[in-house]
């Protein structure tokens, strides 16, 4: 099967295949161009950009656990102006398909960010980071409220009428399908599930919190079952595609996500120790010879 046979769409945006790099671990994408053939994968979801530059959180930001990684990056990024002028054009020049991750501390920052994205004229797919656990306001505090999810998605649809709008959801909620429904109601073309899972660790002789903010976001293999459960339930709750993120560490994990109903998968933490994984998933899709991802089931909407 040729790579183009695995091509698929999210709303108006077309992708060469359904294997993406998750927002964050790959930075602005080009950091990985020596290690990953960016032209072979479906898309790079860029590090979340906010309207103003952010220095990120002070103190320790990464901590390995026995089966995962805790991070407290705090949305460090160069801000919209530099991102749209330098980072995004550079990624596109490198031959990558970009999905731009947008984040905001609140409405006042969100509106100008949407305007900046619209003015850039090269943004045709965005992932709204409504789920970062490592900032005080914005992120998860927006993404945990279904009414705000709907409002933020609707505003993105209005500001970027020709772009694919994907809402990235937090698992740190009682029922993630409620957030997925809110995103669909707001007009999202797809949802991404999941962002990191809240956690913490203690260290040193006094067993003090590792992170200054105490809580951080857990990623990596430890959260794969949580993500699989979320994808399975969301795929049966809404009619829009689900992009799976969370703990992929093998081709088999990707196959399980597709079997659960995912339309695409994102590889995150695994690229720190296995940068070949995204291309091996593409290889597996191509070798399968079938159009579309393996095992993808028609989505059913459960009546409530």
Give catalytic residue positions.
132
Looking from the CA of 244 toward its CB, the CA atoms found within 13 Å total: 32
Return the range that interacts with ligand FMN (CB under 6 A); candidates 22-30, 116-124, 171-179, 207-215.
22-30
Let me know: does 170 contact 131? Beta carbons within 8 Å: yes
**87 interacts with ligand FMN by CB under 6 A:** no
**173 interacts with ligand FMN by CB under 6 A:** no
Q: Which position has the token pair 């279904």?
A: 146
**24 interacts with ligand FMN by CB under 6 A:** yes
Q: Specify the residue, 223 or 228, whose C-beta has the smaller distance to ligand FMN.
A: 223
List the one residue from 247, 261, 278, 293 that touches ligand FMN (CB under 6 A). 247
Give min distance, CB of 166 to ligand FMN, in A.
Answer: 10
Q: Which of 214, 205, 221, 236 is nearest to 298 (CA)?
A: 236
Q: Specify the residue, 5 or 259, whose C-beta has the smaller distance to ligand FMN.
A: 259
Give min distance, CB of 256 to ligand FMN, in A.
Answer: 13
**72 interacts with ligand FMN by CB under 6 A:** no
**189 interacts with ligand FMN by CB under 6 A:** no
Q: Which residues contact 273 (CB under 8 A, 6 or more apart)?
A: none
Q: Which of 255, 263, 243, 261 is nearest to 280 (CA)?
A: 255
Let me know: does 10 contact 264? Beta carbons within 8 Å: yes
Q: Specify the residue, 177 or 195, whose C-beta has the smaller distance to ligand FMN.
A: 195
Give min distance, CB of 251 to ligand FMN, in A.
Answer: 14
The DSSP annotation for 63-118 comes to EEETTEEEE-----B--HHHIIIIIHHHHHHTT--EEEEE--SSHHHHHHHHHHHH
Name the site residues for ligand FMN (rule: CB under 6 A): 22-25, 47-48, 69, 71, 73, 75, 101, 129, 132, 168, 195-196, 219-220, 223, 245-248, 267-270
């Amino acid at each position: 099967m040729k790579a183009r046979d695995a091509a698929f769409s999210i709303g108006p945006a077309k992708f060469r295949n359904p294997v993406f790099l998750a927002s964050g671990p790959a930075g602005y994408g080009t950091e990985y161009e020596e290690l990953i053939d960016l032209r072979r994968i479906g898309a790079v979801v860029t590090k979340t950009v906010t309207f103003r530059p952010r220095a990120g959180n002070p103190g320790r930001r990464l901590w390995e656990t026995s089966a995962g990684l805790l991070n407290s990056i705090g949305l460090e990024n160069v801000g919209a102006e530099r991102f749209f002028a330098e980072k995004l054009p550079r990624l596109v020049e490198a031959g990558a398909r970009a999905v731009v991750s947008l984040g905001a501390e609140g409405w006042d920052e969100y509106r100008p960010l949407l305007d900046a994205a619209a003015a850039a004229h090269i943004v045709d797919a965005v992932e709204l980071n409504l789920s970062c656990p490592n900032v005080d306001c914005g992120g998860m505090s927006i993404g945990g409220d279904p009414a705000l999810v709907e409002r933020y998605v609707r505003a993105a649809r209005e500001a970027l009428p020709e772009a694919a709008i994907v809402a990235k959801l937090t698992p740190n909620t009682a029922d993630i399908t409620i957030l997925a429904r809110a995103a669909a109601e707001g007009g999202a073309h797809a949802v991404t599930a999941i962002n990191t899972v809240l956690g913490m660790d203690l260290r040193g002789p006094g067993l003090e919190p590792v992170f200054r903010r105490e809580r951080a976001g857990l990623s990596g293999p430890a959260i794969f079952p949580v993500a699989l459960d979320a994808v399975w339930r969301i795929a049966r709750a809404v009619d829009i595609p689900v992009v799976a993120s969370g703990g992929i560490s093998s081709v088999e994990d990707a196959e399980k996500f597709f079997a659960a109903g995912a339309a695409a998968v994102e590889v995150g933490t695994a690229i720190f120790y296995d940068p070949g994984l995204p291309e091996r998933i593409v290889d597996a899709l191509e070798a399968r010879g079938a159009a579309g991802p393996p095992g993808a089931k028609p989505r059913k909407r459960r009546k409530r």
